[in-house]
Copies of this chain bind each other. A is one copy, B any other.
Amino acid sequence: MIVIVKLGGAAITNKKGVCEYSACLDPLLDQVRQAYCDLQAQGHQLILVHGAGSFGHPQAKKYQLKEGWRTSQPGADYLKGFSHIRACVQQLNTTIITQLEQRGVPVLNITPLDYLHARHGQDTPTERFEALVERTSQYLQLGFVPVLHGDAVLDDMRGCTILSGDVILYHLSKWLPVARCVFLTDVEGIYKADPKLKMVPQSFEILSHISVKDTVEVSTSFTVADVTGGIQGKIQWAKRMVSDCQVDVMICRWGTKEALDMMTLQNTFTDKMTRFSLF
């Protein structure tokens, strides 16, 4: 069975800065290594997808890269912006790849820009992801751990756009025999209200279970740049993964027992995490 672990931008970077790593990157990657070893011992496979956090969102916002250059020829500012965001994301990816490889996890990165050409951002049809999925599957068969990420890509209608790691997760789940997608983040799950809004009582309560039929409206404080839809976007893609791809989806805080249990296909669900299901 295949487990996809999404390393959220909020967990691996400091989203309040620009191109700053999370102070907790080391123990987080230690836990990912542990999960890989456990899965491998059981004959299961692992795919990693990471977000861009402060190596992507502020840059995308500054240069309006999600909307794209919308002309056949990008101006000097777009050339600079696209080259800049690619260099930033590559820095983050290189760090993650290198640190996991040094921990003995046989990672190989797959750069979305190199494999897919988007059509109007998130509306990009599934068949456009075919080459990306095929390469992922090939690396898995050889015994590697494929590492993908949210990326700036070329786009038919916009010139360029930003594809969230969550969208990539969805298409991988649609095509591959994925059993579970685990989102590792810096909070325990989805709160009834944004925990940064400390005066709201529900901001301390976690929604431990969300059915795809539930309407979830979480008020958010939007204190950091997020060009991929923030928590509402995440909920929407998690629900689509559950209903369209028949995979388990859960959100956990990295470093917890819940995170390791979920990554290693245990079913020890608790109320310190959020689990999505069909009913």
Contact = CB atoms under 8 A, between A and B. Distances in A.
Specify the main secondary structure of chain A where it touches its partner.
helix
Contact of A142 (B74, B135, B144): B74
Contact of A108 (B82, B97, B106): B82
A157 interface: no
Given A79-B144, A83-B144, A91 B94 contact: yes
Interface stretch (A110-118, A191-199, A233-241): A110-118
A268 interface: no
A39 B97 CA distance: 35
A68 to B, nearest CB: 12
Contacts of A79: 106, 142-144
B94 A87 contact: yes
A248 to B, nearest CB: 28
B86 A108 contact: yes
A86 B114 contact: no
A104 interface: yes
A56 to B, nearest CB: 14
Interface in A105-152: 105-111, 114-115, 135, 138, 142-144
B109 A86 contact: yes
B73 A101 contact: no
B97 A87 contact: yes
Interface residues of A, number: 33
A143 B82 CA distance: 11
Interface string A37-58: 0000000000000000000000
Contacts of A87: 94, 97-98, 101-102, 107
Interface string A141-172: 01110000000001000000000000000000
Interface of A: 73-74, 79-80, 82-84, 86-87, 90-91, 93-94, 97-98, 101-102, 104-111, 114-115, 135, 138, 142-144, 154
19 contacts: A73-B142, A73-B143, A74-B142, A79-B142, A79-B143, A80-B104, A82-B108, A82-B144, A83-B101, A83-B144, A84-B101, A87-B97, A87-B98, A87-B101, A90-B93, A91-B94, A91-B98, A110-B114, A138-B154
Given A79-B144, A87-B97, 20 more contacts: A80-B106, A82-B144, A83-B105, A83-B106, A83-B107, A83-B108, A83-B144, A86-B97, A86-B101, A86-B108, A86-B109, A87-B94, A87-B98, A87-B101, A87-B102, A90-B97, A90-B98, A90-B109, A111-B111, A138-B154
